[in-house]
Each structure stands twice: as C-alpha cells, then as structure tokens.
Structure 1
Amino acid sequence: MNHTHGFYDPLTVFIAFAAATAASYFALTLAGRLFLGTTLRRPRLLAASLVMGTGIWAMHVIGMLTTWLDERIDFTPGLAGLSFVATAAACFGAFMIYTGGKQSFIRLCGSSVLLSFGITAMHFTGSAAMKSPREVHYNFTLLGLFTFIVFIAICSALLLFHRFHAHRAHRSWKLLCAVLIGLATSGMHYASMAAVSREPFGSAHAALTGTGEHSSILLLAVVIGGAFLLIGISWTSLLYDKKVLEKMAYSDALTGLPNRHKLSQQYNDFSMIYEEGFMLYIDFDRFKMINDTMGHDTGDRFIQQMAGRLQEVLDKRQTLFRFGGDEFLIISSGARRDAEHLADRLILHLKQPFLLLDTEFYMTASIGISLTPQHGTNRLSLLRAADIAMYHAKTAGKNRYCIYDEETNLHTLRKLELEKGLRKALQMQEFDIHYQPKWDADAGKVIGLEALLRWRHDMLGPVSPAEFIPITEETGMIVGITRWVLRKVCEQNRSWQMSGLPRLRISVNMSIRVFESGKLEEMVREALQSSGLNPDDLELEITESIAMQDIEETINQLNAVRAIGVKISMDDFGTGYSSLGTIDRIPIDTLKIDQAFIRQSALPAKQAIISTIIAMAGHLQLDVVAEGVETEEQIRFLQSRGCSVMQGYYYGKPMPADEFYAWMKQLLRDG
C-alpha cells in the first residue's frame, strides 16, 4: 500500500498558501463591512463567500496539479466543480452565522465548525475527482485530527478578527487572521495527502488514456479564471462600498442633498471659485411645532417637501445643502443684489401652503446672508457670518432676511458674552433683588412691593433686565433663577417682619418657561416652607401672553398655587392678546394697568381705556394697580376713576433691600 505523497515544488506550495491567505484577507475585509449594519447584507455575504471559497479551492487545485506522483492522474470536472460549491457554501454559512448578531461562544464555534467541515468536504470531493488506477483508502483518524486542527486555527482567526476589526492596527490583525486561515487550509490539503493510501486494482496496473493532460489544462484554466474572479469580486465590492460610504458621508439621508461634510470637502477657499459670491443660511420658523404636534415622521416629510420647494427656486449656479434639522444652506456666485433677489424669491415661494396629512400648513423662514469677499473668503468665516445674520433675522421678527454687518456681529457677540456670564451669575452672587413700593393713595401708606431682578456683570457692569431676561428665557435658565428669586424674596419678607416692619405682600414676576416646566407649585411651596412666610404675603405676577399660551394648563397651575393661599395678579393688562371671553376664567386677584396707558393718560382715548379697565375689574371683584405713576395729574385722574393703589417713581424707585428697609423705617418714623 502506497501513500499519496509524491514530491512537492516549494514554490508552488507557497503560491497555494499565498492564494488561500490573499483570498482570506479580502474575504475578511468584505465580512468586516457586515459588522457595520444590515445595508446590502446578502450581496456582501455572497461576495465574501465567493472570494474565500475561490481562494481556498484554488489552493487545493494548485496543490493537486503541482504534485509529482509516480503515475498519471486525471480529474472529473463535475466533482471538481462540486468541491468548489462545497467550499463556497461553507464560507457563506460560516459568515452568515458569525456576523448574524451579537457575538457569542456558540456563534463562534458554529461558524468555525461549518467552515472546517466545508474545507474537509472539499478535500474529500476533490480527492474523489481524481481518476487513479489505484484504489484509494483513507486514514480517518488522521483526517479527524487534521480537521480538529483546522477548526482550532479558524476559531482563533475569527476570534482575533472580531476582537480587533475596529482596532487602530486592524489591518495587521486582519493579515494575521488571514495567515492563520491560509495555514489551516493549505496545511489541511498537504496533511490530508498523507492520510490517503492507494493500492493497485488486482495485479494489473491500469493505464490512463491520454485525457489527463487535457483535463489538467482545463482545470488549471478554471483556477486562473477563478483567481481573476476573486480579484474582480473583491475590488468591485470594495469600490462599491467606497461609493456607498462616500454617498452616506457626503449626502443627507432624508433629502439626498449634499451635507455639511460635502461642503467642507468641496468649498474651502471661495476666492479660488468665485470672484463674487454669497451664502444664504436658511432656518425655518416654528418647525419645532410640527415635530411636537404632528410627530417626527410628519416633520421628516415636511423637510423633504421643503427641500423640493427650495430647489424649485434655484438655478444651475446655485447649490443647496442640508445641514440637519430645519437648516439649509445655499451657495452661489453673484453680487449682493443677486443674493437679495434670491432671498426675496425664497421668502415669497415658501409662503405657499404645505400639505401634510391632508392638512395645510404655513411656514416662514429666516435667512442670513454673507458675501464674499466682503465678509471673508474661507468657508468658516462665511458660515459664521451667515449664521449670525440668520440669528439676527429671527430676533428681528422672523420671516425675513438679514445681511451680515459688523454691528450685527457686535450685538451677537455681546449676547453670547451675556449668556456665558448668566450661566455663572447665580454661583458668583451677581444677582440682586430690588423692591419697588406699591402705594395706597387713599390710605397714604405702602401696602406691598414688587421684586425686580438686577444683574451686575463682573466685566460689563450693570445689565438692563430688558437685555438679559429674554436670554434667560431663551436658554431656560429663567426657571432656576425664578426658584432662587422666590426663595430670597420670601426669606427677605420674613426677615423684615421679624425686625418690626408691617406685613407687606411682595409680588414676583413669572415666566412662561416656569409654567412649561411644571414646577411652579413645587417652587412656591419650597420657598414658603423654607422661609416660614405666610402664603398671603406672596403674590405671583403673570402676563396675558402666559395666561393664553396653554390656558387649561395655566389655569390648573394657578389654581394649585391659589389653593396654598398665594395671590395672583395679571401684569401689563391691555397690552397682550387675552380675550374678554376668557379673562373671567383665569384665577387672578388683581389687574395691573400697563404704564403705557398711564403715561398717556392725558389723552381722551387712553382715559377711556383706563376707565374701562377699572370698571371691568370692579365688576369682576378684582383689585387694580396702576403702574408707571410719575405725576400728581396722573394720581388725581386715577383716583377720580376709582383706582387708589399705584406704583411708580412718584412714590419710590426700585431699591436694594437694605435701602428699602431704611426708607421704610424713616417713613414709619415720619408716620
């Protein structure tokens, strides 16, 4: 009995090993894409399987064709082809199991066992394809041992590959894994030859007829074709993946428009592209309302419609980008007048209704414009200028465009500086509370106070409430600041009472953000309990806009606070948009007439409005306070109409706590 070992050319042995290793490397590269997501999973699985299967099969055939045996060998093409199918199928199953979900020991072993037995089956089928004049016998013990060694090698390679496929040096680790698989498969081939023995059929030494040379040439041609197929599939798949990844990286998934990354890649120095050009930064007004009320799916459909609407206005000179959310950018050549003309057309075109879920929506946009070279020539400076201009368009009333200028920049920089300062103002104890008295002209005494927040910036000095309060509301910081104000006011009022001052009700201004937070009742209870102040000595001031924002929720929160014993007043009455049909539903105790009416109280029209408010308050059994009283004529007029409680500079300016305490003490002494 002879073993099928023959003689082996070292160069061809290396070539067979290199073919298996190269195929494994390319296949692992393709399989690595499967860890990134489910996109194109089946084509990638098929490509990886064909690549690895072709490489392993080619290694086997090269090894068989370059083995120098002591007899002539022929091949059966059908069985040789079947050995390739067995290999590719095993690779497909192994990759499918290995990349099909969260990695586990069972998944690792299952894929390794399948690939090992697939390689073994390929060797058996390939050996069966050999036409030999001798009878073939197998040493199954050795074959089992070799299969187990192959399993260990493949298991180690797959484990290393999964562990390090996202590592910084992943190419080196991937090469090591490919070498392990290459050694396992080529080693399996040459080791299995030692496990095969042949003996002649009877005493005759059958000779093969002259078909062996032709079948070997045919098989070699198939191997070469397979090698080209391996290279073709690998590079085609990798190039296709590159194109797909580039599209994902540089295109917006929702609209298909180029995104911010594409802008960074394509535009850097505008002076190299345009002599004159401009950017339009577009942000839609109230888009959040659609997302909040109709859902994000509807919001996505709106964005798609909006992208199409914008493109309808553009010509071939202009490029539209989506930056995310509801932000779009247009880049174009042209002068300032071209930018203004385009912005006008966009605003007009966007005013047309949008149809979403069989409902018409109306949307406006705020647009910021930057010009090159006036506002810069590089991408970042132009983007910054357009963004600042867009922000200015929003603060100026929305549904308009603004062109960047230095004054706008300074305004924005100051706002940013104030926002930064506000975030540490509480911690740095930069806030202070001033108190302005409310005077009963009939009784001739102070009956209450209004607490007014003041801020002294460590670098900029005193900052007007009209400037910093809107910033705290935009950022949501007003909620925490209001909690602090309530606590300090209650503590101060209680301290004054303990020191001998008469009981005074102090009013604190509320923000819509406090109501939106749902923490109003909690904040009030906390301030009263920590200070020990009687609830009747605290009043909350709301505006008409707060009351009408979400009227049912507002009423519920105000009723909860009134149940504690705290009073409610409506500030700046007559300047908002409350309906007389709902004013009786809002749980308030006092109406405050806005100072805009009081300042013009000499005019008959304003006198009629003031008289109507006072009369209405009387019918609704509400108290009335007039704000902004500065002259005796105003006092006499208000008293003649039945309003005796007044607040303004005539009776006292807003004062710090210690100054008010001294003022009040002096007032009591003068009695």
Structure 2
Amino acid sequence: MADVDGLQVMDAIIEHRIDTCVIVVSGDVSIDSAISALRHGAYDFLRKPYEPDELLLKIENALIKRRLEKENKAMNLQLGESERWYRYMVNSSPDIIYTLDGNGRFTFLNDRVEPLLGYRKESLIGQHYSALVYLEDLESARYILNEKRVGDRASRNMELRVRHNIESKLLTLEFSSFGMYQEGVTDQPARHVGTYGVAKDVTERKKAEQIISYQAYHDQLTGLANRILFKDHLDLAIAQAKRNQKMLAVMFLDVDRFKVVNDTLGHVIGDNLLKKVASRLKGCLREGDTLARQGGDEFTLLLPQIEDREDAMRTAEKMIKSFDVPFQIEGHELYVTISIGVALYPADGEFIDVLIKNADIAMYDSKAKGRNRYQLYSGNMNVSFAEKLSIEMQMRKAIDRKEFQVFYQPQICVSTGMISGMEALVRWSSPLHGSLSPLEFIPLAEETGLILSIGEFVLRSTCKQAMLWKNAGLPPMRMAVNISSLQIEQDGFCDCITQLLQEYHLDGSMLELEVTEGALLSDGEQMIAKLKMLSSMGIKIALDDFGTGYSSLSYLQKFPIDTIKIDQSFVRGLPSDPNNVSIVTAICAMAHGLKMNLIAEGVEKPEQLRFLHSLDCNEAQGFLFSKPLPGNEITGLLMRNGPLAPPAFYSGQSESNIQTHRVG
C-alpha cells in the first residue's frame, strides 16, 4: 500500500473502531517487528516465508476467536437483560422481598418497603429485623425470620405485625421464609448463611376478617354478643364452674310491651330503644359478665362464678331498678320495664340449652305475675309453661268461637246507694280449661297481642249493651271499660272509639275508659295527646288500681284524669288495718283536692262501706252490692230502679238484716 505501512493501517482500524482480527505477514524477522505489530492490535504475526498450512491455521484460530467473542458478547447482553428484568420484577413486586444474614440483619430489600412501611431501604440494610417487628410479636418473629428449613417444610403464610416508620400504625404482614445455604467444598456440608423471603401486606384482609368474625359473633344493632357467642361463653363458664365447684346464673330478659313501641312509633325508635336498653343493662354488670341479644327484644345474661343465688337476685333487682328512669328518644319520653327469668347452675340444669330454656320459662312466669319483676326458676314452672301454651292456643280459637262474654258489675253512689255506673268485665268459658279468671288469661293476651282483639270485642259489646238499655227506656248509664296500653297506643284507636259511639248512637259521656298507672307511662307525650282527644269527646278517663304502681301527683296533673279507683288491696283491710286506713284517707283527701271522682273497688263488708262514706268517697263497687253479672241479669236489676245500698248500710245494723239487698 503506497505511502502507508502496515502499522499505520492498524492504527486507522483502531481509530475507526473496526471490529476485526489482523494477522500481520512481514519479511522483517526481528522480534521488535513482531512486538510492535502486536502492540498495534495485531491478532497474530507471521514471518515470511511461511507454509500455507501455517497461514490457514492462524486464520482458523482468528475466526474461532471472533466467533467466541461474538457469542460471549451475546451472552453478556442476554445476562444483562435478564438481570434488568429480574430487578424490575423484584422491585415491582407488590410484596416486600428481603434477605437476612445469619444474625437476622437485612442484606437486601426491594423497593416495595418504602411505600408500604415508610422506610428507605438503604436505612434498613444492616439493621436487625426487630427494628420493624411489633414488640408483642417478637417471639413469633424469632421463629419465622430465623428460618433454616427449605422447601415444603419452611415457614409459609405466617403473620407478624410491623410498625410503619411515619404513621403511627401497625400493619399485618404475611411472611414466607426459607433458609439460604452456601455449598461446601468437597465433602463439607452446605453452610447456613441467612434467610430469604416474601412479606405480603394483609392488613386490609385482616380488617375484613375481623369485621366478618365480629359480625358472626355479635349483634349488629346493639354490639352485644349474639346467641352463638353467648353459648360459647356459657360453655366455658360451665366448665370453670364445674372445675371450681361454683355456681353461675343465666338470665333471660324481655322488654315489656316493646311491640307496642315498635308498632306505634316505628322501627327506628324501636331500634334506638333497644340500643339504649342494652347500654343501660351493661351499666349494671360486672366486667366478666356476658350480656347477649337473643333477637327482637329478648336478651340473655351470664353471671359466671357467683357465690349464691342472692348475687343473681341483686343483679336482677339492680337492672329492674335502672328502668325507673324513662328513655328519651327523638322527643319521646318512654317508660319501659323488663321481666327477668333466672336459672342457676347446677341446681336448674348442667347443660347450655337446659339453662337457657329454664331461664326463659322463669321469664314468662315473671310476665304472668305482672311484669317488671324477676323470677327464679322452679321445677313446677315446666307444667305451668305448657299450660300457658295451651291457653294461648285455645285463646286464639276462642275469639272466633265467641267463647268470651262480657259481665257487668254495678258501681253505686255511696251517698244514695243508687247505681251510678257499670264496669264491663270479660269472662272466658273454655271448653278445655273451664271458666278462667281474667288474671289467668289477660296478661298472656297482652303478651301475645291478642288483647287487641279481645279488647275490641269488649268495647263493642259494652257499647251495644248501653244502646240496648237506652232503647229500653232506662236512664243513660256510664259504662266503664278496662283498656290496655296496647290498645291506646295503636294508630287509629281514637277513631275506633268515635266510630263505635256513632254506630251505637251513644254520647261520649256514657263511656269511661279505665287505664292503669303503668299504661300511662308507656309513652308519656303520645298517651297525653290521645287521652286529651278522648276527653274532648266527653269520654271519662279513670285511673285503675291507684296506689299499686308508679303513684305520682305529677301525672295526675298532666293527664286528663276524671276518676281515681282505690285498689281493692287497700279496701280489704278497712277499717281495722291502720296502714290501709292511712293510705285510703290520703287518697280520698288528694282526690277531693284535685276535684276528681273517687271509686272504691272490692267493697265486701258494710263496715268498709261505712268507713268510705265517712271519708266522702263518691262511689263503690264490690260483692257487697253485686257480683259481675251477664247483661240480661243486670237489665232486671236496673228495671227495679232501687238502691243497692239503703241507709241501713250506714246505720250499723247487723249484716243479716241487709242481706236481701245483695244481687247475685
């Protein structure tokens, strides 16, 4: 090549970065010439003269080198690409990927650690895992994060709580860890050098699981334990009581007349009432007691490890007493009470279902005895409970079979002895149970809601009877009818009364509605409004059984009450019992002061009547004058138009001289 020697050509190849192998063929046989060629990048050097095979061999070697270089370059490119993809996948993982050395210090963390836990990964390298793990989980962490096992035996899906670096919260991570080993030389066993693993954030899943678990074992409305959790706690409490030879108590609680509140004021207020009831009940309990909602307005209570039955009785009394204070809900002042049944372990049962069933039976017994009380279970209640179920079934049929009948008991004017009114009293002659006292079926009728149908029947029958007497030319007669709070609290009750008066052509003044003290307190404001509406129609309102319930002057002023009825329990001891004398004297004075009519119930003896006359009691009723009679028999009595209590009753004559004046 003119003006250019071989070394200059090689310099040009290097300068232009031409990737090739150069074999220098030269006639210069000096070693310096060969060294110079190699320094300028020659692959090989061949002196002239040379054999053809020698040149071919060098060319073949150069080609082999070129091929190996290309293959190596391709492998390096592929390896680099694989490493980039590997790092991308590791750092893009939604989970934390880590390695720990044999001492539990981090040697590698992927990029996920920062967005998840708030730590820069560089700050954690060299740190012990205890810097992250929640203190209470460190013992578990020692087991999980020092893993030496591999394969299927290694730790998988183990949960630990770890601290967030910035936010003051704990996250739950699910760890899968595997031991790392360095292969030994020759026959040396592999050496454990650390742990590698994956940590998945399961915090939200755990929250969801906790919510699901909570909902499975708790009542969603009140937050109390549900039946499943209650039985679990009771099962454990029975085992502990058996082991420690202790007693425990199971109580069944029911909110009296809750259905009325729910049906009258709506489910929203009903639900709010249940929540407040649950809260008030919890305030009466010990820390270890379990209160549960069975459903509806029924609750169960477990008192574990009590010393004696008095412990359970004190708790029941405390809960009942707490309901003396009304509930304030959305502008309504609601007075409700509870009925409680108590079963004791081991006396009343040694198994879960038996204890709950017996407490339930005792609760129904407390309702039958007047509500707002507790009752301890006894064996004979099983018989009475079955009897109640039978009565309820027969009572439902009795309405259609017209087995109920209305009787009337005269109310007489104490000063004249003349009949001033009638009280309507329902009677039931059951083909299966015989003649039943109202005390045997009225509480059950209220509990089941059948009182609504029975009450409507009594109202209609009474209005019809009043019309018949009126049409027969008898003077207008005031008819007193006992009304349940369930009836008054029904929507349309006032309209129903209006319709009955119009249907039977009666003036409102001919009807008197008797309500109990407890009924007045079921929903104060609503009750006041309805009673005032009835009063505006001329209907009289009588307060029945005065003195046996929440006797209060405040509601005598708030409610439109015309008549107070002295309960027969106070009249019975007159005039010999000084306590009854004091009570009746006070009631009479109060009624006169408030300008209210006063009727004494259960008058059976002349001396009782004379004492009431001395107190200026307005009216009286009882067996002294007449027992309750069917309407046709009362008709004959009214036709005679004579006094049932002539002046002889007040003169002190012997009872034999006035016997003929009694009716029935």
Partner deviation per Cα, 1:161-204 (whole Å, 9 max, x = no partner): xxxxxxxxxxxxxxxxxxxxxxxxxxxxxxxxxxxxxxxxxxxx
- Equivalences for residues 134-153 of structure 1 within 5 A: none
Q: What does residue 299 of structure 2 align with?
A: 327
Q: Would the aligned equivalents of 1:367 and 1:401 in 2 still touch at CA under 8 Å?
A: yes
Residue 649 (structure 1) aligned to one of 613, 618, 623 = 623
Aligned AA for 1:77?
S
Query: What secondary structure, in the 3-state scheme, does the structure 1 residue paired with 2:479 have?
Result: strand
Q: Is the 8 A contact 1:270 1:378 kept in 2?
A: no
Match of 1:302 among 257, 279, 295: 279
- Distance (Å, rounded) in 1 between the aligned partners of 2:621 and 2:206: 77
Tell me what 1:249 maps to.
216
Q: 2:494 & 2:275 partners in 1: Cα distance?
A: 35
TM-superposed deviation, 1:654: 0.3
CA distance in 2, matches of 1:584, 1:303: 29
How far did residue 531 of structure 1 move? 1.8
Aligned twin of 2:312: 343
Unaligned runs of 5+ in 2: 1-74, 95-196, 262-267, 324-336, 645-660
Which of 487, 504, 512 matches 1:539?
A: 512
What's the counterpart of residue 604 of structure 2? 630
Change (3 A) 1:277 1:327: farther
Q: Structure 1 CA distance, aligned partners of 2:204 and 2:635?
A: 82
Partner of 1:454, secondary structure, is: strand
Match of 1:521 among 462, 485, 494: 494
Kindly indicate whether the alpha-carbon contact (under 8 Å) linking 1:343 and 1:401 is maintained by their aligned counterparts in 2.
no
Relative to its length, the structure with more helix (as a share) is 1
Matched, 1:311 2:323: no
CA contact (8 A) 1:449 1:504 kept: yes
Contact 1:483 1:523 (C-alpha < 8 Å) held by counterparts = no
Contact 1:486 1:508 in 2 (8 A): yes
Q: Which residue of 2 aligns with 1:432?
A: 405
Does the CA-based 8 Å contact 1:278-1:370 persist in structure 2?
yes
Q: Decide which of 388, 395, 408 is 1:415's aligned counterpart.
A: 388
Is it true that 1:560 corresponds to 2:533 in the alignment?
yes
Distance in 1 between residues matched to 2:529 and 2:339, nearest whole Å: 35
1:485 is displaced (CA, Å) by 1.7
Pairwise CA RMSD = 5.4
**CA deviation vs aligned residue, 1:619-669 (integer Å, no higher than 9, x gap):** 554444333232333344444544464322122110122332344446689
> What SS is found at the alignment partner of 2:411?
strand
Aligned to 1:464: 437
CA contact (8 A) 1:568 1:587 kept: yes
Alignment match of 1:478 (pick from 446, 451, 454):
451
1:560 offset after TM fit, Å? 1.4
Alignment pair present for 1:77 and 2:82: yes
**C-alpha distance 261-452 of structure 1, shift in aligned 2 (>3 A):** same
The one of 260, 269, 275 aligned to 2:227: 260
1:465-494 per-position Cα deviation (integer Å, ceiling 9, x unaligned): 123222333344434432332122111211
1:496 match: 469
CA shift digits 1:29-49 (9 cap, x unpaired): xxxxxxxxxxxxxxxxxxxxx
| Cα distance change on mapping 1:380 and 1:608 into 2, 3 Å | closer
Q: CA deviation at 1:448?
A: 2.0
Q: Quick one: distance in 2 between partners of 1:435 and 1:297?
A: 40
**How many Å apart are 1:406 and its aligned residue?**
0.9
For 1:669 and 1:632, locate their aligned partners in 2 and report how far apart those are by CA, in whole Å.
15
> Percent of aligned pairs with the same residue?
31
Decide whether the 8 Å contact of 2:363 with 2:374 is kept in 1. yes
Alignment of 1:396-407 (within 5 A): 403-407=376-380
Structure 1 gap segments, 5+ residues each? 1-71, 90-228, 314-319, 355-362
Contact 1:451 1:489 in 2 (8 A): yes
Q: TM-score, normalised by structure 2?
A: 0.52
Higher relative contact order (CA 8 A, sep 6+): 1
C-alpha separation in 2, matches of 1:592 and 1:475: 27
Counterparts of 2:547 and 2:232, CA distance in 1:
55
Cα deviations across residues 116-157 of structure 1 (Å, max 9, x unaligned)? Answer: xxxxxxxxxxxxxxxxxxxxxxxxxxxxxxxxxxxxxxxxxx
Secondary structure class of the residue paired with 1:426? helix
Residues 501 and 382 (structure 1), Cα distance of their counterparts in 2 relative to 1, 3 Å cut = same
Would the aligned equivalents of 1:260 and 1:321 in 2 still touch at CA under 8 Å? Answer: no
Match for residue 103 of structure 2? Answer: none
Q: Secondary structure at the match of 1:427?
A: helix
- Say if 1:584 and 1:328 are closer, same or farther in 2 by CA, change over 3 A: closer
Match of 1:572 in 2: 545
SS of alignment partner, residue 406 of structure 1: coil
TM-score, normalised via structure 1 length = 0.52
Q: Find the residue that maps to 1:433 and give its secondary structure.
A: strand
SS of the residue corresponding to residue 574 of structure 2 reads coil
CA distance 1:277–1:259, change in 2 (3 Å): farther
Q: For residue 525 of structure 1, what is the amino acid of its counterpart? A: T
CA separation of 1:395 and 1:497: change in aligned 2, threshold 3 A:
closer
1:453 deviates by: 1.4
Q: Structure 1 residues 483, 253: closer, same or farther in 2, change over 3 A? A: closer
**Aligned to 1:77, what secondary structure does the other structure show?**
helix
CA–CA distance in structure 2, aligned partners of residues 603 and 489 of structure 1: 37
Structure 1 residue 451: Cα displacement: 0.4
- Bigger Rg, which one: 2
Q: Equivalents in 1 of 2:571, 2:275: separation in Å?
A: 48
Cα distance, 1:236–1:613 mapped onto 2, change above 3 Å = closer
Alignment CA distance shift 1:264-1:345 (3 Å): closer
Decide whether aligned partners of structure 1 residues 370 and 420 sit closer, same or farther in structure 2, where only a CA change above 3 A counts.
Answer: farther
Contact 1:369 1:390 in 2 (8 A): no
CA contact (8 A) 1:343 1:367 kept: no
Q: 1:668 to 1:339 in 2, by over 3 A?
A: closer
Aligned partners of 2:511 and 2:539 also within 8 Å = yes
Cα drift, residue 507 of structure 1: 0.9
Structure with greater proportional strand content: 2
Q: 1:532-572: per-residue Cα shift (whole Å, max 9, x none)?
A: 22322222223444446655544432321122222233333
> Which residue number in structure 2 is paired with residue 162 of structure 1?
none
Higher mean C-alpha deviation, range 603-612 or range 645-654? 603-612
Partner SS state of residue 311, structure 1? coil
Whole-angstrom CA distance in 2 between matches of 1:539 and 1:403? 39
1:377–1:295 distance in 2 versus 1, CA, 3 Å: closer
**Residue correspondences, number:** 441
- Match of 1:630, SS state, is coil
Contact 1:347 1:365 in 2 (8 A): no
The aligned counterpart of 1:385 is 358
CA distance in 2 between counterparts of 1:439 and 1:271 reads 60
User: Matched residues in 1 for 2:232 and 2:403: separation?
Assistant: 45
- Deviation of 1:376 after TM superposition, in Å, equals 5.0
Deviates more, 1:491-500 or 1:579-588: 579-588
CA pair 472-648 structure 1, distance change in 2 beyond 3 A: same
Structure 2 CA distance for aligned equivalents of residues 348 and 580 of structure 1: 25
Q: What letter matches 1:491 in structure 2? A: K
> Closer, same or farther in 2 for the Cα pair 1:611/1:553, shift >3 Å?
same
What's 1:369 paired with?
343
- Counterpart amino acid of residue 508 in structure 2: P
